[in-house]
Chain A
Amino acid sequence: MTLIGELSLWVALLMAAWSTTVSYAGGALRRDDLADSGVRGLYATFAMVLLASIGLWTALLSRDYSLEYVAGHISTNMPNVYVFTAFWSGQAGSMLFWALILSMYGTIAIATSRSRNRELIPWATGTLSAILLFFIATTCFKANPYTHLDFMPIDGRGMNPQLQNPGMALHPPNLYLGYVATAIPFAFAIAALFTRRLDAEWLGVVRRWTLLSWFFLTIGIVLGMWWAYVELGWGGYWAWDPVENSSFLPWLTNTAFLHSIMIQEKRGMLRKWNVVLVVVSFLLSIFGTFITRSGVIESVHSFAQSPVGTWFAAFFFLATGITIYLVGTRLKDLEARAELESMVSREAAFLYNNLLLVGIAFAVLWGTVFPILSEWATGNKVTVGPPFFNTVNIPLGLLLLALTGIGPLIAWRRASVSNLKRQFASPAAFGVIVAVLLIALGMRDVYALVAYALCGFVAGTIIQEFYKGIRARQAIHNESVVAGFVHLVGRNRRRYGGYIVHAGIVMLFAAFAGLGFKTDHDITLKTGDAYDVVDPYGHKWRFVSQGVSTSDRPDRVSEGVALETFRDGKRIGIISSEKRQYKDSQGNALFEKSTEAGIKSTARLDTYVVLAGVRDRDTAEMRVTFNPLVVWVWAGGFVMMIGGLIVMWPQAEKRRAQAGYTAVMPPAGAGAAAELPVTV
């Protein structure tokens, strides 16, 4: 299987090269036979990359240590789950994984839109194959997972225990699924630019795949935050590290596009802007992979530094250059069909939404690459940290939050005073009440007050929309509240799914605002010692050390501390934290020590205990962190995911299709396509 896999990889390289050449030729010469051959080439590439991937999975699961990649990433005693996920834990494997997802996406996208967008297909296929060619070539020549060792090791090096966590098993593939999905809109945008067929037809494909990309990026980012929080023991979940930022950037531009596309659908405006957003999302995905893989920017993530970086830089600049040329020569075809009529309109709200999202993206990008820019400009490397990102992004983020409430309710074209009153009176009152209550309870932080007032306002608009919708249904169909809710969402998935996503955003903002009230306490306790402290809500906590325990297990030595915990005099249980040193069968230390944080979560507060060290056998040094509202980050992420699923669910479009708006296509790759929207 290893041999088949290795050969398949090289065949895939040839197939991708073939598909690129004949697809573009088919497009340029208007030869359908060449174009069809290109499409078949793309399918074949997928089949070959799939074989190559199965080969690597087989090698991993059968512990074939003659392959450097297998020997370097797993060991015999590892659970098979993590052996499976080791596929994408290293450089070479993740390049192959990229190619696998891209070829799968490409196959699905082309197969499902082939009959409808005939003119675009050769160009889109060619572009997808060209991207694939780049990834497969990089895999073959620069980071080949099939590199053989000249000897057979007895065991592999294993995987860092910090990575042996469900969050870490799922975080990278979700990010990849999100990153790679930006390639499909990009390919169709390039095709539309080449053929100058820039009317609405290509937008259907583009919107669906952008949504898919957004969906997976959301899951990937939130899982990454969760992993960092429970596994790394620093009490936070986001540090504005370059690698984190690079996953956030395409998410921002995807989000911007998903909003601005509505303006184009309804009013024919923003046509240039939308093409640019599609292209920029893809370029940012490539840029993100480049940053994480090249080591050009200092990051604590520190992936391998390798020549892959140069290849990525070349690819990035090539793709940017071609796009600038194409957009520049087709500006006339992208003229807007309508003008902004009033500042008090949904168009204006969406325009500002886009401005803010792109502004935030720009600020994040600027802060991320600032070390490089400053070194070029002045010879001195200057870095910016979380203060920079927070100073810029908090005000922009709050404005954006306000628009989250305003945008969906304000009228198209020109809102009347009565429209404004009807829609916003109750939500605005709700926001004010929230702020007044919080001031009465003693909150004085201005940013937090503004954030919670806006959260109240936006939550008010969402509740009001659901309330009105359900009431209307009840009046007509005489339904129960639950049935009304289900039908309301089911009949307008795009709209109400969007509201559910917004509800998730409100939860996230509420949680972020809670960060301002986080407190840290460094404490040292002997067995039996107690520590008293007051949390941000004013509750009295007492931690009593139950002593330090050590355990020596076959795979690790650990020191742990247990704290009996009381809140306002009431016992609420034991919180324990451990420091682990993993070792191999000969007792040699493996990896650095790792921390198991002790976390007690409630809806209002996380109590987070980290054992920093032990001295004199029974004295534990710890950091206790009170982290308000952290659970709402995970809850918000989950709600956004549900909202995203509702919006994407193919049923909604089938229904419209039956009403005569769109044609239905059967899924081509049935299994893989099961979750994807397959209508055109």
Chain B
Amino acid sequence: MDLSTTMAGEQRAVFAELLELHRGIVFKVAGSYCRHPDDRADLAQEIAAHLWQAYPRYDAGRPFSTWMYRIALNVAISHLRSQRQAATVPLDDGAAELVDPQARDPQTEQHVHALHRFIHAQAPLDRALLLLYLEDRGYREISEILGISETNVATKISRLKQRIRNEL
């Protein structure tokens, strides 16, 4: 086995470890942009493939999660825009899997379904902001991921909170 093969193998192992550690990001982004479980699995796969392709350019001095969010959101938004038939998917599609047989509180159930509908009713960029807000990411990180100023992030989150209060 030559040196380059060994290094590629090592790189892949490190990447697999990082992906395992931050896999929640991939699934949360895929879950926010696809309602149907099969589409979600495809998108998650697509995100993982793009992460792997971009991995040689990753700057280890910067947070891995920020880099991962950028790629995952870019892939998910492009995926959503390319799915022209997506508009015909019923709003409740995929909601069946949200049913928790052990759930006892009807209000919690109602909240979960309302939030799911609210997320999928957002425009692609607003959905990215909502996801990052729900994930408790700081304003600076959100601004770095989306490419807008921190002030703009603050303004948008304030409006988003207002909309959540009004609509949910």
A binds B: no
